Structure 1
Amino acid sequence: MSKNDTPPEDDDLNNINTTAAGLASGAAITGVAQGFRVVLGFVQGIVLARLLLPADFGLVAMVAPAVAFAAMVKELGLNQATVQRDQISQQIVSNLFWLSVSMSILLAIIMAACAPLLADFYGEPEVQALAVAYAATIVVWGLQSQPAALLARKLAFKTIAIIEVVSLLAGFTVAVATAYLTRSYWALFCGTIITAAVSTLASWMASKFKPMKIGSAEGMKEMIGFGSSIAGFDLLNFASRNADNILIARFHDAVELGLYDRAYKLLLFPLQKITYPLSRVMVPFLSRNVNQPERYKRAYFVAVTIILVAAQPGVLVGILFADEIFLVLLGKEWVAAAPVFMWLGIAGLVQVMTSTMGWLFVSQGRGKHYLMVGAVTAVISITSFVVGLPQGAVGVAAAYAIGDLVFKTPYVWFMASRNGTVRFEDFVRLLMPHLLALAVAAAALYFTGQSFQQIGFLQIGLLLALSYGIYLAVLTLFKEKVSMARELLEMIWNSIQSKRQARAAQKGMQE
């Protein structure tokens, strides 16, 4: 059997719809689900901030880097390898599953054993029990890795969206209920473990995955090699994304870390919730269309435009009215986090686009370039954190934003455009209309805000509506953006019509 031959029992793994209509349908479904997730996550952040203290979030944030590190290591990039590969067999998927589960169990044991050391490092005894508890989540997520990757590979967007929404809703309910009854940081853990358990169980049921015994399979070495490059980037990305928490916790205190963590979670975390799930739509689609340059580039441009439209106007309001938003939504004890929120927002305006460039590296099989980008950007981020650390959480956020805009963003754009269809000038041309829209919206928001004697819930809602309205109005001045919107709507409509015709045909056959 040749390398690209696929046995009959593996046909369901490799028969994948990669049409534009399929992309539109997936993007639409994922967009709706992520809108719900972002709103629910934001509401959860507000409700839990009202029920718990900054120190509670600070304690959990101390454990978070260790959990994130273990999550990165246990994946080994194998889930992305499953999604990216053109042809794959049941035996390979099974081998990757057992490898991932074994790593998860080993890392959970190591983390539990190191819990006393972690508590001593931070000088917080409560961290020990939290670290042991969170070790269990590593195993749960490890069990989900390959079943979830199979769903993404099959472009089962509707199923993935339902799983995400249901698991998040379950975790939200448990977290809020536990916080109300106990007023303890354990509410945050309960929400996390329930979300993981529900998501894992549902992924197994939906994927119908039945692992085989470990056996030899052609292509394993190649997949592990590609996965290792992805894992290397993920580990470096972990270092850059968690060094800030570790440094603040080590050289300041739980309250300072709690303020930083809430600002981060209320801003950059929702932005990640937009880009990460959409990557499960885009990476498989782009991987299957890498040899069709125009289709590849157009799909990427449309997806990035959607992300920028969804995120930038809201982030802009957060930057300009950070003090008022924290006072109204979280209370006066959280206003100290507003400057952190503002600086992170400045970085987030462009970061939502830069973060999508990982799709290009992965879909084009450029694992080594991806690893190189991870190494350089990690150095830039960690250096920024160290520079800003003497000024506390605000200093760390400010240094991070400046480093991100001045150094990291141009470098990532340059590396992403070195090979492949999308060039550096394409990135500039794609972003410029959005920057103009931001400038016009910012001016309108500033003068409108000055007319309010007091800013409450109603005024925040009006400012958000104004920001999105002006932003979209400016984009309509650009023919390419209008063309993208029309194209997206046509693809969604064609997808809906195709599904209707398929259901009608099926109904006719049954009759």
Structure 2
Amino acid sequence: MDGGFTADLPLDVGQEAEPRERTALFLKNIGAGGTVSIVKILIQLALLPLMAHLLGPQEFGVYALAVPVVAFLAVIADGGVGLSLARERTNSQAIWSTAFWVLMIGSVVLSLVVILSGYVLARASSEPQLNDLMLILAMSFPFLSLGILPVARLMRQGNLVAIAVADFCATVSGAICAVSLGVLGYGAKSLAFQFLTSYIIRTLILNLFAFEKPKLIFRPSTMLEHLSSGGILMGGRIADLACRSGESLMFGNAFGSATLGAYNFANQVSRFLFEACSNPTWAALYSQSLSEQHDNLLKIFYKVSRLMAFLTFPVAAVLAAAGPDLMAQVLGPKWQEAGIFLRILAAGYALSLTASMGTAILLAREANLLFFLTVVLLGAGRLLAVAAGQFLPAWETVWLVTISNVIYSVTVCLCVARFADAKLLRILKEISGPFFAALASGVACWLVLRLGGNHSIMVYGSVAIAALCYFAAMFLLEGKNLKNEFSFLKSATSGIIKKD
């Protein structure tokens, strides 16, 4: 097996300092992003039942009418320009100033669209308060746009900690606003003000870290490349949204609303668990890709793939072994079907999100069209899988969805190998240890449940045994590598603390 992080560092002491510092910064970015991501999830979990109690189903229903329009427009608000601009030198005043004015003009247009949508929705649903609700939500878009360029600058600098701080403060402030206004009886407006407050706080903090006064320069021609690149990225986001919507529609038509609810819940749990790890890691890798030398970048990519496999594979193994039992214990017997779907979907999600780390390199290397095609491939594959539900039972259809995730994973790895010179055997080597250790832990979990029954003590005990089995297997398979990597992580972390 490979010797971990330390084996990839140069032997010369003078040459070792810079790679070690850059790797330490990378680890710091992942740590900050991952921590804030977990905190945000915990806050959302606590907030959901509390707001449901304060508002009631009627007010939640009114807000739900506004969410699809605002969520869709928020996804396309930056037009993909933010990620593209992160590749641009910050001293290109014409480009950055033009981008500022383009984004602000776009935010005004989107705000007007939201306000107009409010009038249409209010008439169509006979809910007059939607006018006020959409007006509050419309005020968010200028603040959303004001935060795009600071994020691009911070990503270029490799300072994702500042972004994590802004996200944390925005989430906490939004939650406090929602609860306070909910207690005061503002109803659905409390959720709208939460949305607005979050963007105001996030934008203020981001600009404290990376504000640059825009010049009175407006040259659209300087933005053509970024608009073209951003258009492809935005097209990928829209394609993903469209495919997911179509997937839900076809699944519901084939199997009914109850089975659709179980399927959507299983999807949400899978994404909820795995994206908490993958999103901050992907952002950190993309930021690192913008300035890292190619050879060092590939070494980092291999280790990121290993990290994602280390974190997601054992979770997938436990869900595959105990998904139905866990769902029955936590949510009741009626959710057991969701547990069956979760059992099938978990492995595909873990593999696809591990492979998706390669898309950060493709995007940083300006392979935008290839990035778009991989997104479309995944969406189209899932649509085709669900379309087969007209002829297959639900569980077989879900298996086809998992197969589409596996095909996507293989495709991304082949693309990274072809266009970024990554070695497929090296990727397989890095994830092999977590794979076999997770397989052993999944088998152990399944055996405990089959031999001991599915009452609560055995269900939770099987998860604990699976965790112990996983770490034991990892040390048996890669004990020396793990020691090397933990030693490096400790030294890198201590270097960050001393430097700070």
TM-score class normalised by the smaller sequence: 0.7 to 0.9
Contact 1:171 1:195 in 2 (8 A): yes
Contact 1:259 1:336 in 2 (8 A): yes
1:461-508 C-alpha deviation (Å, 9 max, x unpaired): 5444433332233233444x85366346425524533652x56xxxxx
Using the TM superposition, give the Cα deviation of residue 144 of structure 1 relative to its aligned residue in structure 2, in angstroms.
1.9
The runs of 5 or more residues in structure 1 that have no matched partner are: 1-16, 504-511
The one-letter code sitting in structure 1 at the alignment partner of 2:421 is T
* Structure 2 partner of 1:4: none
* Structure 2 partner of 1:371: 372
Q: In structure 1, what is the Cα distance between the partners aligned to 2:52 and 2:399?
A: 23
Using the TM superposition, give the Cα deviation of residue 379 of structure 1 relative to its aligned residue in structure 2, in angstroms.
1.9
1:439-462 C-alpha deviation (Å, 9 max, x unpaired): 101111112224555544x66654
Q: Classify 1:217/1:347 alpha carbon distance in 2 versus 1 (closer, same or farther; 3 Å).
A: same
SS for the counterpart of 2:147 is helix
Q: In structure 2, what is the Cα distance between the partners aligned to 1:30 and 1:55?
A: 35
**TM-score, normalised on structure 1?**
0.77
SS for the counterpart of 1:365 is coil
* Structure 2 partner of 1:113: 116
Q: In structure 1, what is the Cα distance between the partners aligned to 2:252 and 2:126?
A: 14
Q: Equivalences for 1:464-475 in 2 at 5 Å?
A: 464-475=463-474
1:220-277 C-alpha deviation (Å, 9 max, x unpaired): 3333333333333333233334433455678898877655544433331342232222
Give the count of matched residue pairs.
480
* Structure 1 partner of 2:173: 170
What root-mean-square deviation, in Å, do the aligned CA atoms of Structure 1 and Structure 2 show?
Answer: 4.2
Q: In structure 2, what is the Cα distance between the partners aligned to 1:171 and 1:268?
A: 23
* Structure 1 partner of 2:7: none
1:416-437 C-alpha deviation (Å, 9 max, x unpaired): 3211131333333333322212
* Structure 2 partner of 1:12: none
Q: Equivalences for 1:396-415 in 2 at 5 Å?
A: 397-405=398-406, 407-415=407-415
Q: In structure 1, what is the Cα distance between the partners aligned to 2:418 and 2:91?
A: 29
* Structure 1 partner of 2:484: 486
**TM-score, normalised on structure 2?**
0.79
Q: In structure 1, what is the Cα distance between the partners aligned to 2:125 and 2:248?
A: 15
Mean Cα deviation higher: 90-99 or 52-61:
52-61
- The alignment status of 1:161 with 2:164, answered yes or no, reads yes
- The alignment status of 1:234 with 2:232, answered yes or no, reads no
Contact 1:49 1:330 in 2 (8 A): no
The one-letter code sitting in structure 2 at the alignment partner of 1:448 is V
Contact 1:61 1:261 in 2 (8 A): no
Contact 1:313 1:464 in 2 (8 A): no
Q: Equivalences for 1:265-344 in 2 at 5 Å?
A: 265-289=268-292, 291-293=293-295, 295-331=296-332, 334=335, 337-344=338-345
Percent of residue pairs identical: 16
- The alignment status of 1:380 with 2:352, answered yes or no, reads no
Mean Cα deviation higher: 134-143 or 345-354:
134-143
- The alignment status of 1:443 with 2:451, answered yes or no, reads no
Q: Classify 1:388/1:111 alpha carbon distance in 2 versus 1 (closer, same or farther; 3 Å).
A: farther
Q: In structure 1, what is the Cα distance between the partners aligned to 2:401 and 2:60?
A: 21
Mean Cα deviation higher: 129-138 or 317-326:
129-138
Q: Classify 1:279/1:184 alpha carbon distance in 2 versus 1 (closer, same or farther; 3 Å).
A: same
* Structure 2 partner of 1:417: 417
Q: Classify 1:272/1:117 alpha carbon distance in 2 versus 1 (closer, same or farther; 3 Å).
A: farther
Using the TM superposition, give the Cα deviation of residue 210 of structure 1 relative to its aligned residue in structure 2, in angstroms.
3.0
* Structure 1 partner of 2:30: 27
Q: In structure 1, what is the Cα distance between the partners aligned to 2:393 and 2:119?
A: 26
Q: Classify 1:215/1:103 alpha carbon distance in 2 versus 1 (closer, same or farther; 3 Å).
A: closer
Q: In structure 2, what is the Cα distance between the partners aligned to 1:417 and 1:487?
A: 25
Q: In structure 2, what is the Cα distance between the partners aligned to 1:211 and 1:309?
A: 44
1:98-123 C-alpha deviation (Å, 9 max, x unpaired): 22232233234335534687799xx9
* Structure 2 partner of 1:207: 210
Using the TM superposition, give the Cα deviation of residue 22 of structure 1 relative to its aligned residue in structure 2, in angstroms.
1.8
1:161-214 C-alpha deviation (Å, 9 max, x unpaired): 222223223344555677789897777656544433332332223323433333
Q: Classify 1:96/1:483 alpha carbon distance in 2 versus 1 (closer, same or farther; 3 Å).
A: farther
